[in-house]
Structure 1
Amino acid sequence: MDKFIEWLNAVAGRRVRLAEHLGVKPPVVSEWVTSKRSVPIVHGAAIEAFTERAVTRRDLFPDTFLHVWPELAEPAAGQDGQGA
């Protein structure tokens, strides 16, 4: 979450632009930053795309991302998806 907050605070107006992109009101994004509300998991992929992967779903949901997005698991050593 720290990475997300840093990203939002790095440039003026980012909270508003992100809110518009997600279809939420800017105070909702502020509540995420102050931990009054959690970032809804449904916004994870959209935030990752909007931040151009500066903030990933893994950053936003470090304890739960694999339950929602199992495809984000690191491949096991030697299993890089390349054919032998």
Structure 2
Amino acid sequence: TIRDHTLANGVLYYYQETHQHYDFHPVHRLDKDTSGIVIIAKTSVVQHAFDKKRTHFHKNYDAIVEGQLPANSISIQWPIGRKPGSII
């Protein structure tokens, strides 16, 4: 199945329109229904350099919740795990 409205297709279209001869090399991904910054390398060499540093990346996840919390803000220091049965 070809997916027309993807980040990869958008970036490759931009490269074509601006006469840049690069490929699409995502350094990481975003989960479905998640927003944020995506780092895209223009070459596989740069992508591999980022991969070596990946353990040094720090990610923050913010949530909008309903109800009352005991304070204006709280911090949850808990690892994010895989959803049971998920292939991701």
Same fold (TM over 0.5): no
Please say which structure displays the higher CA radius of gyration. 2
Higher fraction of strand:
2
What's the TM-score, normalizing by structure 1? 0.23
More relative contact order, 1 or 2 (CA 8 Å, 6+ apart): 1
Higher helix share: 1
